[in-house]
Amino acid sequence: MKPTNTIKKLWLCALTISALGFSACEKEDAPECSGAPAIDRVTLPTKRTEAFTTGNLADWVIIQGSNFCNVSSVMFNDVEANLSDAYVTSTEITVRIPRVVPKNVTNKVTVTSEAGTAETPYTLSIPPIEVAGLSNEYASAGQRVAVVGKNFDLYGISPTSGKVLWNGAPVTVTRATGDSVYFTVPANATPGATVKIVDANNVEKAVPGRYKDDRNIIFSYDTGTSVWNTNTFITQGPVPTPINGAFIRVNQRIGAWAWTEFSATNTTLSNTIIANAANYVLRFEVNTLKPFSTNVIKFSIDGDPGGSGANTYLWKPLTPFNTRGQWSTVTIKLSSLLTVPLDPNKSQHEFKFLFHGDGALDADMSFDNFRIVPKD
């Protein structure tokens, strides 16, 4: 064989092997999707190897499987996820569950592409509407107030859908968020009025509390009684603007563990309340011109606020509490305060409300309308 022919043959062989190798590489790099999508499991970004069959609205999840190329939709029940925020590969879909209440609950997640559809069992926890009460039960007629709670947006309570009923009559919703529904107190509002909210499906839910509830008022600041029959801290305003006549304003520096009573008296308490404390709450209005950021406010009934802490509720600000000059209603479960049953044979019971705790506080807090009322 001539050398030139040998070289030619070797060169042709090399080309053949190269072509075969290229052909084999093309086959391995063929499209990763070759059929309808299939779902293996639903996981979490922080637990990618663990399968989950339940979740919550607004959770981020990873759908693992195969053939996710050209996915056109991902459905949780009958609600479509937003794929523009999703990260999709051939084997995973990282997507956020929509924060929308489904109308048709199938308890499934469904993935659809041009090649077909796959589904797997997946149950979502649907949170209910939670209604805490009015932001200010003593707001004046014509003043803006809010029903406060959770998940109002999920149930379609907005200026264009849903309702607020004041003593059964609808009032205009001026603004709504997930945790607040705003409206204006009617001009003809009278004490004792009740409020309800109605969602987009026409389901009513009562708002705890009554407007300007004056049942079982503990301290009557209008008669000049605050701390043991004195007028300590009592003011008529004008700063802040009074909410219901005279009120308490504590505007001073309170040292750490300085015993500072701002309301204290002996008064009667019905045996119905004593026997059914779990059915009652302590409710009042508060206004802060400076944040309540440290120290502790103690509410005590026949208690030991300076010692064992019996029958004493501690209000500790985990984060600064600040109403920014607006009056706001606060509710405390009476059962959280009364750790020891009250004596029904006592003619009067000792109430002490005071600052006493760690951390010096530059206080400017006002209080009014302390009352014990049914929790509704």
Position 155 pLDDT exceeds 90: yes
How confident is the model over 142-147, as a mean pLDDT? 98
Q: Which two tokens stand for residue 214?
A: 């004056």
Q: Kindly report, residue by residue over 87-138, the tens digit of the pLDDT.
A: 999 999 999 999 999 999 999 999 999 999 999 999 999 999 999 999 999 9
Across residues 336-343, what is the average pLDDT?
96
Token representation of residue 287: 């206004």
Would you list the DSSP string of 186-222? -TT--TT--EEEE-TT--EEEPSS-TT--TTB---GG
Residue 362 CA: distances (Å) to CA of 123, 262, 365? 50, 15, 10
Task: Write the burial class of residue 84 (CB in 10 Å: 0-12 exposed, 13-18 middle, 19+ buried).
Answer: exposed
Length of the chain as a residue count: 376
- What confidence category does residue 224 fall into, taking pLDDT thresholds of 50, 70 and 90? confident
The edge-to-edge listing of strands for the beta sheet with 312-315 is 260-267, 349-355, 297-301, 312-315
Closest of 302, 127, 328, 144 to residue 240, by C-alpha: 328
Contact between residue 267 and residue 364 where contact means Cβ atoms under 8 Å apart: no
What is the structure's pLDDT at 31? 56
Q: Which domains are present in the chain?
A: 40-125 (2.60.40.10), 130-206 (2.60.40.10), 221-374 (2.60.120.430)
Count the neighbouring beta carbons within 10 Å of the beta carbon of residue 95.
Answer: 23
**Structure confidence at residue 18 (pLDDT):** 37
φ, ψ for residue 288 (rounded to 5)? -110, 130
Q: And the tokens for 369? A: 């309308």
CA angle 318, 175, 157 (to 5 degrees): 90
Q: What is the mean pLDDT of the chain?
A: 92
SS3 of residue 207 by DSSP: coil
Q: What is the DSSP letter of 35?
A: S
Model pLDDT for residues 21-56, shown as the tens digit of each residue: 333 323 233 458 999 999 999 999 999 999 999 999
pLDDT beyond 70 at 194 = yes
Q: What is the model's pLDDT at position 3?
A: 43
- pLDDT, tens digit, for every residue of 238-286? 999 999 999 999 999 999 999 999 999 999 999 999 999 999 999 999 9
- Percentage of the chain lying above the pLDDT 90 cut: 89
Enter the tokens of residue 328.
């706001």
Question: Which residues lie below 8 Å from residue 60, measured CB to CB, with a gap of 6+?
Answer: 44, 45, 94, 95, 96, 97
